[in-house]
Amino acid sequence: MPPTELRVGVVGIGWAGQQHLKAYAAIEGVRIVSLAGMENELRDSLRAEYSIPNGFADWKEMLDHGGLDAVSVALPTFLHAPVAIAALERGLHVLSEKPIARNAVEGQAMVDAARRAGRVLDVAFNHRRRGDIQALKQVVDDGGLGRPYYAKASWLRRSGIPTLGSWFTNPELSGGGPLADIGVHALDYALYLLGEPKVVAVSAATHSELGPQGRGGGTRFTAQASSHAFEVEDFASAFLRLEGGGTLVVEASWATYREADDQLEFTVYGTDGGAELKAHGAPFPPIGELRVFTDKDGESADYMPAVIPGRAHDAVVEDFVAAVRGGAQVWGRHDGSLALYRAQIIDACYQSALEQREVRL
């Protein structure tokens, strides 16, 4: 028999919100009943495309209208906490875009609200659902590299500030620059691949060199323009000490003089092997170049694992729906705490950069 119908609403109609709409529409037994977004023409177009009965300019009106079991929050970062908490307090399950919030304090408030309500709070980390990352995860989990002791994860752009003068460049609205925006993806997939080791200390540096001069704003990135000054970093690097003695380096940039293509990479060295993943271009290709380096009987036995394309937001939304349908015995394991831990690490990195010292977690 088909699963019980799940009534969902989506708040936010930009690129991310549209990925959620597409994913929900493909799942049996899920009905999109409400859509909230300020751009009237786009909202009406999406409502027609997905046969959504209710449309609202104000997310509060959507929640007050009711008739929902779950909502996706695909809004600017400063709105994640207020919308998610309001939805959770109404007994709704929530899937939020990353990062969880502007900082760990807001993230903790979201997690607390999910726990009080006994509802699911998931955060969309779609890059861990890439096929190449999934293939590398299998290699690591199967012991193919032995014990990993060093890793480096990066997402670098040459000219990719998400619209100069937008909310992205105001720390009060965004929580930070590329470290908070795309660096959190690199941090997430790195810790995921390494088996979620505890981060015990961070030492980070941030730079703001091109954005304040009006350089580095790519034409393919869009956001609602405003008069905000460029008040965040445009490049960040962080050295993370892991429990057990391992180390992880994370790099993120919106604007750096380098090759034109975006670069998403992960390198890991272990006691029995190493691996490199490279994906170049924007949007990133479904499958990057994944190589594993190891020995067999004293001879090189390097290979390229078989990889199938990942499913990004489709898989994220499917996981969220599965968690909601799993019932109360599952909901407690989906309280947003993993995404909160990412926020705590990012906060420590910004503190380290500001105070020019190592910060212990």
How does pLDDT run along the chain (361 residues), one tens digit per residue?
Answer: 345 899 999 999 999 999 999 999 999 999 999 999 999 999 999 999 999 999 999 999 999 999 999 999 999 999 999 999 999 999 999 999 999 999 999 999 999 999 999 999 999 999 999 999 999 999 999 999 999 999 999 999 999 999 888 899 999 999 999 999 999 999 999 999 999 999 999 999 999 999 999 899 865 555 555 567 899 999 999 999 999 999 999 999 999 999 999 999 999 999 999 999 999 998 899 999 999 999 999 999 999 999 999 999 999 999 999 999 999 999 999 999 999 999 999 999 999 999 999 999 9
First to last CA, the chain: 48
CB 71 within 8 A of CB 11: yes
- The H helix count followed by the E strand count for the chain is 12, 15
Domain regions of the chain by residue span: 6-126+313-334, 131-309
Q: How many CA atoms lie within 13 A of 72 on its CB side?
A: 35
CATH 3.30.360.10 applies to domain 131-309: yes
Residue 313, SS3? Answer: helix
Q: Which helix or strand (DSSP H or E) is residue 9 part of?
A: strand 6-11
Of 3.30.930.10, 1.10.10.60, 3.40.50.720, 3.10.20.600, which CATH number belongs to 6-126+313-334? 3.40.50.720
Question: Scanning the structure block, which residue is given the tokens 């994913």?
Answer: 23
Q: Nearest-CA neighbor of 350 among 190, 249, 238, 209? A: 238
Cis link prior to 178 (omega < 30° from 0)?
no
